[in-house]
Amino acid sequence: MRAVVVVDGDVAVADRPTPTPRTGELLVRVAAAGLNGADQLQRRGLYPPPKGAPADIPGLELAGVVIERGPGTERFVPGDRVMSIVAGGGQAEMAVVPEATALPAVNGISWAEAGGFAEVFVTAHDALFTQCQLVEGERLLVTGAAGGVGLAAVQLGRARGADVVASVRREELRHAVAAFGATAIDPAETAEHGPYDVVIELVGALNLPINLKALATRGRIVVIGIGAGGHTEIDLAQVMAKRAVVRGSTLRARSLAEKAEASRRVGAEVLPLLATGEITVPVAGTYPLERAHDAYERFAAGAKLGKIVLEVPGA
């Protein structure tokens, strides 16, 4: 099979053996696979895959058609359309998927949308509702809101009845982000639009002092992106006075059981919204698998609204 591979700090496309599904796994013919920040880190040698994932094939989310079942699988059969998070290996013509994390691909959405759904919506849903317990009527700040996870968080927050503020660095993207139901602001305006009950931090540590200053009493901050840096200083007196919670979260390194539970909640709470069009998967650009290098360069360039997705011709 053809697959994206990490080679000397870059990506290329090469032949690799087709994987074999083990107990509890599905073999999926991949139709589309989204790019994420973790893939860029793995490309640079900064984010090695967890044990059991392909050593050199990136890709944390995919959509495609089940072609074979491993022992112990029950929910899907060959021919079913699925989308799922994976620990790695998603950017290939074939991939194995734990059945426990697989979700049915919603009718009516494109392969590109399905391929860019799982990682960002599972991450955003977990951060908002499991980590931060966001409820109706609360005020939510999403930083870096024009990206895949950011737009997912904006939409999920609005669907839950939160008042959403979206911090977007690029002025030309703010109107488009606002169309998803948020108040789109320049990051410099963060403090004046607070206080916030929940902050989803997708940019990095440089925002934490501002976030904390603008946080409401008993507010919650979850850090799930550090592209702009991972080190800063914060005022612990503010943490104490506001009874604040500052936490971090990643998805890739969690146990299969944790990922399965997060995926189950998305299946129950988010797929119905996707089916009715209340939420969407914005796609900024698609590239055929053989142009993976171009896709990675487009992702790195920024200034995009939503997902960059690799498509597998003929799938």
Residue finishing a domain among 220, 248, 276? 248
* pLDDT for residue 59: 97
Q: Please, which pLDDT band fits residue 48 given cuts at 50, 70 and 90?
A: confident
Instruction: Collect all residues with Cβ–Cβ distance below 8 Å to 26 and sequence separation of at least 6.
Output: 66, 68, 69, 70, 73, 76, 82, 96, 97, 98, 99, 102
Q: In the chain, where do the E strands start and end?
A: 2-7, 10-15, 25-34, 61-69, 81-85, 94-98, 103-104, 139-143, 163-167, 183-185, 196-201, 215-223, 245-248, 283-288, 307-311
| pLDDT one-digit tens code per residue, 80-91 | 999 999 999 999
For the entire predicted model, the pTM comes to 0.95
203 and 303 belong to one structural domain: no
Distance CA 106, CA 98 (A): 18
39 and 188 belong to one structural domain: no
Residue finishing a domain among 231, 248, 265? 248
Q: Please, which pLDDT band fits residue 95 given cuts at 50, 70 and 90?
A: very high
242 and 295 belong to one structural domain: no
pLDDT at 234 over 80: yes
Angle of helix 118-125 relative to helix 256-269, nearest 10 degrees?
90
Distance CA 43, CA 187 (A): 29
Q: What angle do CA 192, 246, 270 make, to 5 degrees?
A: 85
Quick one: which of 289, 309, 290 has its CA closest to 298?
A: 309
Q: Check which CATH number belongs to the domain holding 135 and give it.
A: 3.90.180.10
* pLDDT for residue 192: 94
71 and 149 belong to one structural domain: no
With H, G, I as helix, E, B as strand and everything else as coil, classify residue 166.
Answer: strand
* pLDDT for residue 46: 85
84 and 141 belong to one structural domain: no
**Does residue 315 or residue 33 have the better pLDDT?**
33
164 and 237 belong to one structural domain: yes
Residue finishing a domain among 196, 216, 248? 248
236 and 274 belong to one structural domain: no
Question: Containing domain of residue 299, as a range?
Answer: 2-117+253-311
195 and 226 belong to one structural domain: yes
pLDDT at 57 over 90: yes
- Residue 9, classified by CB atoms within 10 Å of its CB into exposed (0-12), middle (13-18) or buried (19+), is exposed
Average pLDDT over the chain, rounded to whole? 95
156 and 54 belong to one structural domain: no
CA gyration radius, the chain: 19
Q: Within 13 Å, how many C-alpha atoms sit on residue 182's CB side?
A: 32
